[in-house]
Chain A
Amino acid sequence: MMSDRVAGLMGQLIAVAIALAIGAVIILAVNESPLRVLVTLIDGAFGNPERIAGTLLQMTPILICGIAACISLRGGLFNIGIEGQLFIGGFAATWVGFSFALPPLVHVLFGLAFAALAGMLWIAVPAFFRARFNTNEVVSTILANYVAILLTSYLTINVFKRPGGQPDTPAILESAYLPQIFSFSRLNWGLFIGVALAIGAYLFFTRTARGYAVTEMGANPKFAEYGGIDIKRQTFVLLLVSGAVGGLAGGIESLGVHHRFMEGFAPGFGFDGVIAALLANGSPIGTIVTALFFGALRNGSLLLEVDTTASREIITVIQALIILAVSAQILVRRRASDSTAGERRWKF
């Protein structure tokens, strides 16, 4: 068992190395030194305490979105709509934050709960149709992202716009702030919530019968059905929970970091979360590591844009290459172990 795991981990690492090598060639192609890009990235991500806090700050939403993705991936489902759930959740928490006056802790909890509920509602329709009629959830959740981003922009600019000023909502009350960890950074308790969620998801999948049933469904839905699992119900509930965690990620961004909602609220965290979960092969604990990696890339890329001529989107290229390398790698391993690897579960 252990050697299998080690082999798997080695596979992922080799894939990452290949991707980084291709990334280096691409960086050369845009006339920049790969070594300088690497040094700048590391310096930008871990150069001093503020930058480390910045990396953890970027990691937080990626981690929580990654957990949301893990939850659906474990059951063999693709919730690609985490980005949209994050926007909806972020707006919902902000709305609670500026509309109500509540005691400090209650206000935060109410805001986060509302964010999770909003994320859950946002995925409810795609989840229902996936569970009941097998409607492809990849496409429906992706399309819902576009609607979510436009809807929150509409609410922000046409309904709740702060008089005068920028295109953003009024600030939330201080009672709704998620407490910061250090005085010098916007890093907040969201990180702890994220890590707690990862551990919770890990325990759920490894220690409970229901968690096992979900993993079973992901591995082989037909077999799981024969085993007496109510696939439809489980699919629906699983996607709802995944959506709720995605909404929560948005709530934490708004109550912990921005303290208001604006256009371009949290660009790409939802997608980064999906990628982090894929790289971790659906393992919640592994997602902590991959989210840290992607958080560092993101934070390092801010300095990259200042210090070199490369644009920070070069890191999304590297992320994509990593996933491509890993996706091929996973299969080399799987093909050796079982014959159902070629089975296409997403055929329509």
Chain B
Amino acid sequence: MEVLERLFNAALIVAMLRTTAPILLVALGGSFTTKAGIFNIGLEGQMLLGAFFAVIGTIVSGSPWIGVLCGVAAALVLAYIFALLVVTFRANEVVVGLALNILASGMTISLMKAIFGTRGSIFGHGLVGLPIIRLPFAKDLGWFGQIISGYTPLVYVAFLAVPVLIIFYKRSRLGLYIRVVGEKPEAAEALGISIARIRYTASLICGVLAGLAGAHLSLGYTTMFTENMSSGRGFMAVAILIFSNGDPLKLLAGCLLFGFSDALSLRMQTTLGVSSYIILAVPYLVALAALFALSYRSRPRLIQETLATMGRALSVKPNGASGS
């Protein structure tokens, strides 16, 4: 009982929200490409490049805000190359995405060595993180105040983006266009929507959010850059995108599940003394389990749909025959 009490408390929720934020930001970015019908495996690289250039920008300018801008700009460049190759050149999305991930990984390490002469990680050099925001009214709210106050700004951006995206997809013209392009490209074409332009737009918005996710990783979540510090968060986001189909609310649920498993496993390491390797594997295992479990669950619906289409096809034929 005491162990359980030490595992589950307000601090656990705080830890969960902290670990959820980076993956939520990148997954929300991926929601745009997913909705537009692009399989974007390159999120990982955009996030990593964003994290790196956020650190560089901060060190050069002295302001973490300029750093965030630099991170976003870098991720945007990668997102633009992705869109150029996938949309304009119609290259295979998986191949391009993977190559961009490898590019981001190799490039950040090369540049780190060229600029700082070191490998591994960058910290110091006048690197400052984003400030922590303490909500003024939080003190009066007791434990709830503890939960909602005291994060770096991008955590708030991540969670506030969820309702914004819900409204965006439901109410805005661009949101509607993106959905049409993803779900029924033929219909979009018939309506005179430029599929290419919408897919470019979706890819670039995705780049902005992936860049923010990266900047949060190196300036908010930690205050340093480490080789391959995105450590598969971009891929986990893709797993969540697959089973949520890019819907913001389901995405949030999926990301909270990860944040929870991450935070809980980190605590189990300290309280129960489980090997750190096993602990580190937990988020990936959760992602896999969710991916498999939900693809199994979606099967009956698939079968139902197939049966329905077959039924329709069968019922149409006799009618057509009798008509002629």
Interface residues of A, Cβ cutoff 8 Å to B: 26, 30-32, 78, 80, 125, 129, 133-136, 138-140, 142-144, 146-147, 150-151, 153-154, 157-158, 271, 274-275, 278, 309-311, 313-317, 319-321, 323-324, 327-328, 330-332, 335, 341-342, 344, 346-348
Interface string of B121-162 (1 = CB under 8 A from A): 000000000000000000000000000000000000000000
A158 to B85, CA, bound (A): 45
Interface residues contributed by chain B, number (CB under 8 Å): 50
Q: How far is the CB of A270 from chain B (nearest CB, A)?
A: 12
Within 8 Å by CB of A317, from B110, B238, B291, B295, lies B110
> Is residue B247 contacting chain A, with contact meaning CB distance below 8 A?
no
Known: A147-B284, A311-B113, A344-B37. Is A154-B275 also a contact (CB below 8 A)? yes
Q: A138-B94, A157-B277, A323-B102 are in contact. List 9 more A-B contacts (CB 8 A).
A: A129-B291, A150-B277, A317-B103, A319-B102, A320-B106, A327-B99, A328-B89, A335-B90, A346-B39
A328 to B281, CA, bound (A): 35
Residue of A138, A278, A324, A346 contacting most chain B CB atoms (<10 Å)? A324
Q: Is the interface of B mostly helix, strand, loop or mixed?
A: helix
Q: Is the interface of A mostly helix, strand, loop or mixed?
A: helix
Residues in chain B near residue A135, CB distance under 8 A:
291-292, 295
Let me know if A321 and B103 touch, CB within 8 A.
Answer: yes
Within 8 Å by CB of A313, from B37, B41, B109, lies B109
Q: How far is the CB of A272 from chain B (nearest CB, A)?
A: 9
Let me know if A348 and B242 touch, CB within 8 A.
Answer: yes
Let me know if B110 and A313 touch, CB within 8 A.
Answer: yes
30 A–B contacts, CB within 8 A, in A order: A80-B98, A129-B295, A136-B39, A136-B291, A138-B94, A139-B41, A139-B235, A140-B292, A143-B236, A143-B287, A147-B288, A150-B284, A271-B98, A274-B98, A275-B102, A311-B109, A311-B110, A315-B106, A316-B102, A319-B106, A320-B99, A320-B102, A321-B99, A323-B102, A324-B81, A327-B95, A327-B99, A331-B91, A346-B93, A348-B39
Residues in chain B near residue A147, CB distance under 8 A:
281, 284-285, 288
Total inter-chain residue pairs, C-beta < 8 Å: 160
Known: A139-B291, A317-B106, A324-B103. Is A330-B91 also a contact (CB below 8 A)? yes
A142 — nearest CB in chain B belongs to which residue? B235
A275 to B103, CA, bound (A): 12
Interface string of B289-306 (1 = CB under 8 A from A): 001100110110000000
Residues in chain B near residue A146, CB distance under 8 A:
231-232, 281, 284
Let me know if A332 and B114 touch, CB within 8 A.
Answer: no
Top 8 nearest A-B pairs by Cβ distance? A316-B106, A320-B103, A154-B277, A30-B114, A327-B91, A311-B113, A135-B295, A313-B109
Q: How far is the CB of B316 from chain A (nearest CB, A)?
A: 21
Let me know if A30 and B110 touch, CB within 8 A.
Answer: yes
A268 — nearest CB in chain B belongs to which residue? B102
Residues in chain B near residue A78, CB distance under 8 A:
94
A31 to B117, CA, bound (A): 12
Residues in chain A near residue B93, CB distance under 8 A:
344, 346
A341 to B296, CA, bound (A): 30
A321 — nearest CB in chain B belongs to which residue? B103
Residues in chain A near residue B91, CB distance under 8 A:
324, 327-328, 330-331
Q: How far is the CB of A38 from chain B (nearest CB, A)?
A: 16
Within 8 Å by CB of A31, from B102, B114, B280, B287, lies B114
Let me know if B238 and A139 touch, CB within 8 A.
Answer: yes
Residues in chain A near residue B98, CB distance under 8 A:
80, 271, 274, 323
Residues in chain B near residue A313, CB distance under 8 A:
105-107, 109-110, 113
> Is residue B92 contacting chain A, with contact meaning CB distance below 8 A?
yes
Q: How far is the CB of B183 from chain A (nearest CB, A)?
A: 10
Let me know if A346 and B94 touch, CB within 8 A.
Answer: yes
Residue of B96, B232, B245, B284 contacting most chain A CB atoms (<10 Å)? B284
Let me know if B39 and A323 touch, CB within 8 A.
Answer: no
Let me know if A309 and B278 touch, CB within 8 A.
Answer: no
B41 — nearest CB in chain A belongs to which residue? A138
